[in-house]
Amino acid sequence: MTQLGIETTPIPGLLVLRLPVHQDERGWFKENWQRDKMVALGLPDFGPVQNNVSYNARRGATRGIHAEPWDKLVSVTTGRVFAAWVDLRRGDSFGTTFHIEVDPSVTVFVPRGVGNSYQALEDGTSYSYLVNDHWRAGISYPAVHLGDPEVAVPWPIALDEADISDKDQRNPMLADVVPMEPRRTLIIGSNGQLGRALAADFPQADQVDLVGTDPVLDLTDPTAVGAWPWQDYDLVLNAAAYTAVDDAETPEGRPACWAANAQAPAVLARLAQEHRFTLVHYSTDYVFDAAADTHDEDEPFSPLGVYGQSKAAGDLAVGTAPRHYLLRTSWVIGEGRNFVRTMQSLAERGISPSVVDDQVGRLTFTGELARATRHLVESGAAYGTYNVTNEGPATSWADLAREVFRLAGRDPGDVTPVSTEEYAAGKSLAPRPARSVLSLDKLARTGFVPEDALTALVRYCQHEPAS
């Protein structure tokens, strides 16, 4: 009996599965879709949502060549078919063909955008296919003529003797086919510090924000969410967050904080499962208190304030998405208002600030965070949570302020170190974690080498802030 196995083909992503078929005098039985075994051998965990069956009454019934915007797993239940595929996706493999005879012992995984066609070789032939999206009326997809000489499918039954629909007879030649575009990347929160860095690293991505400039996508509005074309995206980068840590403690700020940091990620996690996109979400050291010297990815949550609590809730929601990267970071510095730019401004204006010296962590430059995002996505790193900061020794905010002053030509001694308690006297401030150092060991095991924070700080301070 044949052992379950997977074979590649000239068309990227088109896979042939050889299935064990158990036969006796009563007939046969096979495991047509066995998620654990097939995924372990290399079949994508494509998440089928619909099962279709095509019955062909007569030998010679021929269908195709059609490409749909979903993946499918095709198998014969009775009879035999000659099957042919043409890659109709934009790219170097456009026009590549493959054909094979399919009986109950053969199943074929057909990726999105690959045109498929089937010719029944026996009367009463049936084949089924699992698909991972629902058919929608009124949408046209790429197709190519069954008899295109450029495609040159060697049909066992001549097409002038085959049973072909009028619609398939009118399919265009390959030269006239508009290729299917790949699924795209979406950046949410594109106007923030991180969003702008991600846009630079993912220049072809669509961009949207939760509020502000057009286009705006309100993830708390079911109508807006339902109207968005999520099926067009393969990767969604959620850089949107409510980061006004102190305002989050107020009656006005609390609901806004929870909406952006908990409710919105929960919506995205549900959509990621429904539409099969990879979700990248960004978290914070604020989900921890100061109990540990260094925080790793498995440490239980212990947030001290509303901001940290809302981010922890969002983390839990994102963890339910089948394909997700949750990047936990700290002390983010990018284009726009931030601690370093504030210290530069104070230094230039001759002001000598008091800065806390009992909160310890590492800077994370948004360019480094964007670079780590691309590395994890493109390297195929295991899904899950990763700490991402710049490398180097832990420093206090006061240490960093002194370094910024030095780089600005000011005496580092002009920065006065104070305790958090002293700094907070008379102010309404949210609690901060005193120890924000994140372990980078898991990230390092993926092959990513973070840049030293102080090296990046020097380069950052040498560039004028954007106007």
Interstrand relation of 22-24 and 15-18 (parallel, antiparallel or unpaired): unpaired
Domain end point (choices 143, 158, 176): 176
Rounded Cα distance between 149 and 295, Å, is: 62
Residue 5 CB: number of other CB atoms within 10 A?
12
**Whether 151 and 278 share a structural domain:** no
At 135 the pLDDT is: 82
Task: Catalytic residue, from 66, 145, 275, 324: name it.
Answer: 66
Helix (H) or strand (E) holding 398: helix 397-407
Contact criterion met (CB below 8 Å) for 120 and 81 = yes
Is 247 exposed, middle or buried (CB count within 10 Å of its CB: 0-12, 13-18, 19+)?
Answer: middle
Contact criterion met (CB below 8 Å) for 260 and 242 = yes
Domain that holds residue 372: 184-461
Task: Give the SS3 label for residue 67.
Answer: coil
Domain end point (choices 176, 196, 216): 176
**Whether 109 and 202 share a structural domain:** no
At 466 the pLDDT is: 45
- Domain assignment of residue 365, yes or no: yes
Kindly state the DSSP code that residue 426 receives in the 8-state scheme: T
**Whether 128 and 205 share a structural domain:** no
**Whether 115 and 165 share a structural domain:** yes
Task: Catalytic residue, from 118, 129, 307, 325: name it.
Answer: 129
Q: Where are the alpha helices (DSSP H) in 240-325?
A: 253-258, 264-275, 306-318
**Whether 165 and 188 share a structural domain:** no
CA-derived radius of gyration, the chain: 28
- Domain assignment of residue 466, yes or no: no
**Whether 153 and 190 share a structural domain:** no
- Tell me the average confidence (pLDDT) per consecutive run of 10 residues in the chain, 467 residues long: 90 96 90 94 92 95 95 96 97 97 96 97 95 84 96 96 95 96 95 94 92 82 94 96 94 95 97 95 94 92 95 97 97 93 95 96 96 96 97 96 96 95 90 94 97 95 66
Q: Quick one: which of 456, 436, 447 has its CA closest to 283?
A: 436
Domain end point (choices 176, 195, 227): 176
Task: Give the SS3 label for residue 95.
Answer: coil
**Whether 226 and 191 share a structural domain:** yes
Q: Is 129 a residue of the active site?
A: yes
Rounded Cα distance between 72 and 424, Å, is: 59
At 123 the pLDDT is: 96
Contact criterion met (CB below 8 Å) for 185 and 234 = yes
Rounded Cα distance between 15 and 27, Å, is: 27
40: domain CATH number?
A: 2.60.120.10
Strand partners, 89: 180
- Tell me if the bond preceding 65 is cis, omega within 30° of 0: yes
**Whether 192 and 169 share a structural domain:** no
Task: Give the SS3 label for residue 274.
Answer: helix
Instruction: Give all strands (DSSP E) within 15-120, no chain letters.
Output: 15-18, 22-24, 27-29, 50-56, 62-66, 72-78, 81-87, 97-102, 106-110, 114-120
Domain count, the chain: 2
**Whether 172 and 249 share a structural domain:** no
**Whether 150 and 189 share a structural domain:** no
**Whether 454 and 372 share a structural domain:** yes
**Whether 152 and 244 share a structural domain:** no
262: domain CATH number?
A: 3.40.50.720
- Domain assignment of residue 467, yes or no: no
